[in-house]
Amino acid sequence: MKHVILGTAGHIDHGKTALVKALTGVDTDRLKEEKERGITIELGFTYLDLPSGIRLGIVDVPGHEKFVKHMVAGVWGIDLVALVIAADEGVMPQTKEHLDICKLLKVKKGLIVLTKIDLVDRELLELVKEEVTDIAENTFLKGAPILSVSSTTGEGFPQLISTLDLLAKEVEERSSDGLFRLPIDRVFVIKGFGTVVTGTMISGSLSLGETVEILPSGLEGKVRNLQVYNRPVEKAVAGQRTAVNLQGMEASAIERGDVLVRSQSLTATQLIDVHLDYLPHAPRPLRHRTKQRFHIGTNLTTASFFLLDREEFAPGEAGFVQLRLERPVVALPQDRFVIRGSGAVQTLGGGVVLDAHPGKHKRFFSSVIEDLTILKDGTGEQIIGLHILRSGMGGITLEGLLNRVAVSPHEVETILRKMIERGDILLVDSERLKVIDIHQYQRLKEMALDQLRLFHQRFAMKSGLAKEELRTKLPVELDVKLFQILLNELVQSKEMVLERDKIRLPDHQISSVDEKGLVKRVEEAISKGGLQPPSSKELSEEWSEEEEKVRSVLEHLVHEGVLIKIKSGMYFHRIHFENLREKLITYLKSNKEITTPRFKEITGASRKYAIPLIEYFDQIKLTLRLGERRVLRTAGQDLGSKTNHGPQVRESKD
């Protein structure tokens, strides 16, 4: 069954609620205060089954100027509007304001209903018709049907119903292939069931049992029951008036203006880029940084206007604005909004959301304006391309894109596949459909090569850079999968060489950078020092070399297994070290234990060397310290093995 939603609009007391009652038999004014004052305050909801079988959901709105905020919430997301005008009063202020609002919200279709015709003669009726034709000029209601009815006598209703049927048939059915969103217009508690929220489902679909989230609060819960027009259903789809019974959510934590979404599918925002139409009859120009009321969905907050392409909006002008919102809202591109004055409350303008998650912009910046022009007028592919480009070297997933474009998931996927095939973008992760702009990817490759070049320059004596270290040197937190793709490609194209887990440039050879023969000289100097070798500082001073360079040679020799690093800055030649080790083992085998002074005697070295050495033997678990003495820890094992201390030699950053 096709679902279409009709909203009423029009000045106070012009007979909107009476019209709905005459059509459906339902009095949507239920509140005590509404009954007492004879006016509508809150939105009213009911439905009508049309002759063609279409179910017409009806949202009845208040006409009172104080409740325009409810009216905006009610008509956001409707398919058709019935602009109601009492024949005995004609066009009044809220007739025009409601029409403005419908225009700004881009309501596509509707009809004009002249009510109370039982109170006027033919002549007056004709005059009102002329007046109505005038205000419909230049709006979506130009040429729309004008019906004359009396809700008291029932005159004109058969024609009204057949006209509604005709219009409803022309309404394009909404696709339910989109992100589920339900802007909440009512919250209440039903005894025995708990919290219920209602709203017009503007996109997507929702099924029983699904986990949902309230935005902006982030409260999560489950769908326990679902109703569409008072009937329980398993699944509700876009275009339906929907009531959702929520499990695990307190009604007091939810309010009108919140949005029900599928868990983790959308994020709220406080900064949005929009294209604004400032109404021709706005009373004064709109200045930079002024604050106005901002209506989106069923939500109302205050926005500060950051004008991007002009000093001010004169009435009738249109342009780009970045809005800073007082409270977070849920917004998607192509969503419509209305702004109303914050002092004298009247509708000033409205427009369309272009970017719901932008960065802060500078004013009068040509690239910002160019991008916003694409977001406003571009094709789906151009818009998606722009968002991918903007995601930079981090890339963006399908889910990320769905938060930024007003294109269905299916369409986004089709466009992405096309772009991948053409080579405009690169697929990073097929599971999440994560992509990166191809130029960004090329830049990333250049950066990786630059980093490696820089590393070789700084640490000429290091054979290469650890893979993981290269990843952290790149400018963004790189996706592991993307890094793997990048590395594979660079290795395959022979721009980099991967040896074990180290990467180097193909022309990087340690020998080629050692023009001064430092490697040999360092080895000789350390060897000559025996068990009292010179430090990197001493060597660098003696040779007038940069200490960094001497250190990198020392580290290189450790890596090659020529030297043993005992502690930071202290290196021994392997031959002397092994000699000492043999002596120590022999001594301990015959004496069982050794004291520090005795060990010092064996080494013939000063405390400066002897202490780090014996501690090193503890550390590699050759000896065990018992107070002032040390014993062999590995008694009974093959102590002659020379491989014992390999793993303890860690490459450190010093």
Cα gap 482→522, rounded to integer Å: 41
Nearest CA among 398, 383, 392, 483 for reference residue 434: 398
Three-state secondary structure call for residue 250: coil
Binding residue count for Mg ion, defined by CB under 5 A: 3
**Which partner from the list Mg ion, ligand GTP, none does 14 bind, CB cut-off 5 to 8 Å by kind?**
ligand GTP
Cβ proximity to Mg ion: between 29 and 335 the closer is: 29
Cα gap 321→525, rounded to integer Å: 70
**Which partner from the list Mg ion, ligand GTP, none does 308 bind, CB cut-off 5 to 8 Å by kind?**
none
**Applying CB under 6 A, does 13 fall inside the site for ligand GTP?**
yes
Stretch of 9-17, 159-167, 370-378, 418-426 lying at the interface with Mg ion (CB under 5 A): 9-17
**Which partner from the list ligand GTP, Mg ion, none does 116 bind, CB cut-off 5 to 8 Å by kind?**
ligand GTP
Cβ proximity to ligand GTP: between 186 and 291 the closer is: 186
Close Cβ partners of 526 (under 8 Å, ≥ 6 residues apart): 533, 534, 554, 557, 563, 571, 572, 573
Least distance between ligand GTP and beta carbon 323 (Å): 30
> Taking a C-beta distance cutoff of 8 angstroms, is the pair 72, 103 a contact?
no
Three-state secondary structure call for residue 106: coil
Cβ proximity to ligand GTP: between 150 and 408 the closer is: 150
Cβ proximity to ligand GTP: between 5 and 406 the closer is: 5
Cβ atoms within 10 A of the Cβ of 409, count?
Answer: 16
**Applying CB under 6 A, does 156 fall inside the site for ligand GTP?**
no
**Which partner from the list Mg ion, ligand GTP, none does 200 bind, CB cut-off 5 to 8 Å by kind?**
none
Cβ atoms within 10 A of the Cβ of 507, count?
Answer: 8
| 3-state DSSP helix/strand/coil % of the chain, to nearest 5 | 35, 30, 35
Least distance between Mg ion and beta carbon 343 (Å): 27
Cβ proximity to ligand GTP: between 164 and 557 the closer is: 164
Q: Which helix (H) or strand (E) holds 73?
A: helix 68-75
Cβ proximity to Mg ion: between 56 and 339 the closer is: 56
Stretch of 35-43, 179-187, 229-237, 618-626 lying at the interface with ligand GTP (CB under 6 A): 35-43
Cα gap 458→213, rounded to integer Å: 51
Sketch the per residue contact string, 16 through 35, with Mg ion: x for CB under 5 A, - otherwise: xx------------------
Least distance between ligand GTP and beta carbon 15 (Å): 3
**Applying CB under 6 A, does 150 fall inside the site for ligand GTP?**
yes
Binders of ligand GTP among residues 282 to 341 (CB under 6 A) are none
**Applying CB under 5 A, does 40 fall inside the site for Mg ion?**
yes
Cβ proximity to ligand GTP: between 129 and 502 the closer is: 129
Binds ligand GTP (CB under 6 A): choice among 3, 16, 293, 573: 16
**Applying CB under 6 A, does 12 fall inside the site for ligand GTP?**
yes
**Which partner from the list ligand GTP, Mg ion, none does 151 bind, CB cut-off 5 to 8 Å by kind?**
ligand GTP
Enumerate the β-bridge partners of residue 132.
none
> Taking a C-beta distance cutoff of 8 angstroms, is the pair 174, 226 a contact?
no
Stretch of 38-46, 74-82, 117-125, 523-531 lying at the interface with Mg ion (CB under 5 A): 38-46
3-state secondary structure 496-526: CEEECCEEECCCCCHHHHCCCCHHHHHHHHH
Three-state secondary structure call for residue 12: coil
The first and second tokens of residue 628, run together, are 């002032």
**Which partner from the list Mg ion, ligand GTP, none does 64 bind, CB cut-off 5 to 8 Å by kind?**
ligand GTP
Least distance between ligand GTP and beta carbon 5 (Å): 18
Stretch of 75-83, 110-118, 342-350, 450-458 lying at the interface with ligand GTP (CB under 6 A): 110-118
The first and second tokens of residue 237, run together, are 């789809």
> Taking a C-beta distance cutoff of 8 angstroms, is the pair 611, 619 a contact?
no
Binds ligand GTP (CB under 6 A): choice among 5, 6, 9, 17: 17
Binders of ligand GTP among residues 53 to 82 (CB under 6 A) are 62-64
Q: Is 476 exposed, middle or buried (0-12, 13-18, 19+ CB in 10 A)?
A: middle
Least distance between Mg ion and beta carbon 156 (Å): 19
CA angle 445, 385, 297 (to 5 degrees): 130
Between the alpha carbon of residue 63 and those of residues 24, 60, 74, 384, the distances in Å are: 20, 10, 12, 41
**Applying CB under 6 A, does 15 fall inside the site for ligand GTP?**
yes
Contacts to ligand GTP by CB under 6 A = 12-18, 38-40, 62-64, 115-116, 118-119, 150-152
Contacts to Mg ion by CB under 5 A = 16-17, 40
